[in-house]
Amino acid sequence: MNILKAYMARELPRINQTLYDLTKDLEPEVLPLVEHVLKAGGKRIRPILTLLTARAMGCTRNDVYPMAAAVELLHSASLLHDDILDNAGLRRGKKAAHLVFGTSHAILGGDILFALANRIAAEYNIPALTHCLAQAIMHTATGEIKEIALLRNPAITRAQYLDIITGKTAYLLQVACQCGAIMAGADATGLESASRYGLNLGIAFQIVDDALDYSSSAAVSGKPLGGDLKEGKFTLPLVLYLQQLADEDKTRVMDKLASNAMDAKDIAQVVGAIQSLGLDVQTRQEAGTYITRAKASLEHLGDTPEKNILLSLLDFVLHREK
Amino acid sequence: MNILKAYMARELPRINQTLYDLTKDLEPEVLPLVEHVLKAGGKRIRPILTLLTARAMGCTRNDVYPMAAAVELLHSASLLHDDILDNAGLRRGKKAAHLVFGTSHAILGGDILFALANRIAAEYNIPALTHCLAQAIMHTATGEIKEIALLRNPAITRAQYLDIITGKTAYLLQVACQCGAIMAGADATGLESASRYGLNLGIAFQIVDDALDYSSSAAVSGKPLGGDLKEGKFTLPLVLYLQQLADEDKTRVMDKLASNAMDAKDIAQVVGAIQSLGLDVQTRQEAGTYITRAKASLEHLGDTPEKNILLSLLDFVLHREK
C-alpha cells in the first residue's frame, strides 16, 4: 500500500489545484455549491486512476490533469444527484449539498458539473473522450434507476445485484481508466485492458463495500452495521443469506423484508446471522474473482512504477477494512 | 407563416423517427419515462432550427437529423429537471414526468438524456459540437439558478431579468443554431451569425412569453393570466409596472410582493393595471429590438428557402398570441 499512498500524496495537490482552476470562474451563484462538494474531500481515486492508467500505458502528454479532474467532476455531479435520490443527510462527513443549498440548486449544480466535465473533454479534440464520458453517465444513471426499481425487493437475484453495482459504481471507475488509456493513445487492445481493469476494480470495490456493511471489522469505520438492509438495499450478503435458508424461514424473512416490517431487533438478528455464517467473509471472497480479472487485464503491460501501483490498488481494495 | 408551417409539417416525421431510433434501445427501466417526455409533443422548434440553419448555410451532409434530434434531447432533459424545480403539475398538457415516475427517476432520466445528446454529438467526430452543447447546458442551468435566487425579489432589475431569460431560454435556441452552422462547416463569421440569430430569437421568444402572461389576448391559450406573478417570477411587465409607480405605491406593492402576501384579488389588480397601462404591449415591443438584431445577423446569407423561413420565424415569434 505504501507506493499507492506515496503516489496519492504526490499527485493530490496538483489534482486539487486543477479542480480549483477549472471551477473558479463559475458564476457566483454556482460556485459555493461546487466548492462545498469538492472541498468535502474524497480520496480522488478516479483522477488518480486516470493518471496511473495514462502513465502505465506510456502517456507522454503533459496535459493529463484537466482530463483527470474532469473525471472527478463527473463523479461529483453524480454524488450531487445521488444524495437527492437517497435523501442522504451526510456526504463525506459534511452536510449533503441538497440540504445546504436546496434540491433545485443541487440538481442544477449537478447538471453544470456534468457539462463542465464534457466541455473539458471536448477541449482535447478527441471525441472518444466525450463518448466514454457519455456512456459512463448513461450506464451509471441507468444502474441507479435499476437499484431504485429493486429497492425493498428481497427476490433480487445475484445477476440483478451485479447488474446494479456494475451500473452504479463500476462504470465511473472504468471511465477513469478509459480516459487515461485514450490520453496515452492506446490502441483497441490497450483501451480494452484499461476498460476491463476499471470495470472489475469497480465491481470488486462495491462488493467489498457491501460486505463491510455487515462486517464487524467495519466498526472501526464508525458506520453502523446493516445500513443497507435498513434502507432496503439488498446486497450480496443478504442474497447469500436468503439462499441458505430453508423454504419456510426464507418466506417468513422475505415477507418481512418486502413489507418493510424489520425493526432494529430484526436487523440486528439478520446482521448477526450473516456474520456467524461467515457470509460477509464469503462476499469479500467473491470480490476476489473480479480482482483476479482486473489483475489479468494488466498482464501485457510492461513493468512501470504505475503498473505496480495499479496492482497494489487491487490488493488494497480487496483487503480494506473501511 | 405558411412556409414555416409547411417546412415543419414536412420535417417533423423524420425528426420524430430519428428521436425514436435514437432512444428505442434504452433500458426498459428508462424507456417509458423518455417516451413520456418525447411523446408529450412540443413543437420541435429546436431541431427545426438546426435543420434550417444548417441548410441556410449550405450544409450538404445528409446526416444532420441525429444532431437535430440531440438538440431536442438536450431540451427534453432540461424540461425533466425544470419541472422538478418548478414542482410543475403539467407539461405540454400531460402530467409532468416527475409526478408519474417519481423525482429520482426524473433526475436520472434527465441525466441520461443529457448524456445521450452528448454521445450522439461525439459520434460526429467534431469536438465543437460537444463544446457547444456543454456551454449551453452550463449557461441554462446557471440561468435557472439565478432565477431561483431572484424568485420573489421585486427589486429585480431589467439587466437581471435579461440575464435570467438569456440563461434559461436563449442558450438552448442558440445552441440549436450553432450546431446547424457547425454541421454546415461554417467559418467563424458564419458561426457567429448563427449564434446571434439563435440568441436574439431566444430572448425575444421569452420576452413575448412573459408579455403573454399578462396579455388578455392570451386567454385564447387557456393559460390563466398572472401565473408568473403568482409563482413569484417577476418578469419585464412587472419591472415596467413598478418603474412607473410613485415611490410610496412602489414600496407598498414591493413589500407585498416580497412577503408573498398577494391574494387573488391583488394579482388581478396588478394584471389589470399592467394591461390598462399597455405594459404588456410595451413588453412585446421590447422583444422587437431582439427580433431586429436576429434579422440583421442573417443579412450576409445568400437567398435560400431556409433563410426565408428563418426570417418568417422571427415574425411569428414577435406576433404570436399563444
The C-alpha of A49 sits at a distance from chain B's nearest C-alpha, in angstroms, of 22
Residue A45's Cβ-count burial label (10 Å; 0-12, 13-18, 19+) is buried
The span from the CA of B270 to the CA of B265, in Å, is 9
Nearest Cβ partner for B138 among A104, A116, A123:
A116
The C-alpha of B280 sits at a distance from chain A's nearest C-alpha, in angstroms, of 30
B115 touches chain A (CB under 8 A): yes
Considering chain A, what percentage of its residues have pLDDT values greater than 70? 95
What is the per-residue pLDDT across B36-56, written as a single tens digit (0 to 9) for each? 999 877 789 999 999 999 999
Instruction: Enumerate the residues of chain A whose CB falls inside 8 A of the CB of residue B134.
Output: 115-116, 118-119, 122
Which residues 30-89 of B are in CB contact (within 8 Å) with A? 30, 81, 84-85
Mean pLDDT for B221-235 is 79
Mean pLDDT for A171-188 is 97
The span from the CA of A187 to the CA of A181, in Å, is 8
Where does the pLDDT of residue A128 fall: very low under 50, low under 70, confident under 90, or very high at 90 and above? very high
CB B174 within 8 A of CB B138: no
Instruction: Enumerate the residues of chain B whose CB falls inside 8 A of the CB of residue A107.
Output: 81, 84-85, 107
- pLDDT at A191 (0 to 100): 97
Between A152 and B57, where is the model more confident?
A: B57
- pLDDT at A217 (0 to 100): 61
Name which of B79, B131, B138, B139 to mutate to probe chain A: the one with the most chain A Cβ atoms within 10 A of its Cβ: B138
Q: Do A142 and B85 touch (CB under 8 A)?
A: no
Mean pLDDT over each residue of chain B, to the nearest integer: 92
Considering chain B, what percentage of its residues have pLDDT values greater than 70? 95
- pLDDT at B220 (0 to 100): 53
Where does the pLDDT of residue A14 fall: very low under 50, low under 70, confident under 90, or very high at 90 and above? very high
- pLDDT at A218 (0 to 100): 47
What is the per-residue pLDDT across B176-203, written as a single tens digit (0 to 9) for each? 999 999 999 999 999 999 999 999 999 9
Which residues 222-241 of B are in CB contact (within 8 Å) with A? none
Instruction: Enumerate the residues of chain B whose CB falls inside 8 A of the CB of residue A148.
Output: 102, 104-105
The span from the CA of A108 to the CA of A115, in Å, is 10
B254 touches chain A (CB under 8 A): no
- pLDDT at B107 (0 to 100): 95
Where does the pLDDT of residue A277 fall: very low under 50, low under 70, confident under 90, or very high at 90 and above? very high
Neighbouring residues of A239: CB distance < 8 A, sequence distance ≥ 6? A156, A157, A158, A161
Q: Do B126 and A127 touch (CB under 8 A)?
A: yes
Instruction: Enumerate the residues of chain B whose CB falls inside 8 A of the CB of residue A118.
Output: 118, 130, 133-134, 137
Mean pLDDT for A240-252 is 92
pLDDT at B234 over 70: yes
Where does the pLDDT of residue A263 fall: very low under 50, low under 70, confident under 90, or very high at 90 and above? confident
CATH 1.10.600.10 assigned to domain A2-319? The reply is: yes
- pLDDT at A322 (0 to 100): 77
What is the per-residue pLDDT across A60-101, written as a single tens digit (0 to 9) for each? 998 999 999 999 999 999 999 988 887 767 666 778 888 889
Between A1 and A233, where is the model more confident?
A: A233
The angle that helices A45-56 and A171-183 make with each other, rounded to 10 degrees, is 40
pLDDT at A223 over 70: no
- pLDDT at A69 (0 to 100): 98
Mean pLDDT over each residue of chain A, to the nearest integer: 92
- pLDDT at B221 (0 to 100): 53
Mean pLDDT for A148-171 is 92
- pLDDT at A85 (0 to 100): 85
Instruction: Enumerate the residues of chain B whose CB falls inside 8 A of the CB of residue A30.
Output: 141-142, 145
C-alpha cell at A200: 472489475
Mean pLDDT for B115-125 is 96
- pLDDT at A235 (0 to 100): 94
Mean pLDDT for B208-216 is 90
C-alpha cell at A201: 476494480
Domain ranges across chain B:
2-319
- pLDDT at A221 (0 to 100): 53
Where does the pLDDT of residue A219 fall: very low under 50, low under 70, confident under 90, or very high at 90 and above? low
The C-alpha of B223 sits at a distance from chain A's nearest C-alpha, in angstroms, of 25
The C-alpha of B119 sits at a distance from chain A's nearest C-alpha, in angstroms, of 5
A124 touches chain B (CB under 8 A): yes
CB B149 within 8 A of CB A152: no
Q: Do A104 and B126 touch (CB under 8 A)?
A: no
Nearest Cβ partner for A145 among B29, B85, B149:
B29
Nearest Cβ partner for B108 among A105, A109, A145:
A145
Considering chain B, what percentage of its residues have pLDDT values greater than 90? 74
C-alpha cell at B319: 406576433
- pLDDT at B86 (0 to 100): 73
Q: Do A108 and B145 touch (CB under 8 A)?
A: yes
pLDDT at A220 over 70: no
Q: The cell 447469500 sits on which residue?
A: A240
Considering chain A, what percentage of its residues have pLDDT values greater than 90? 74
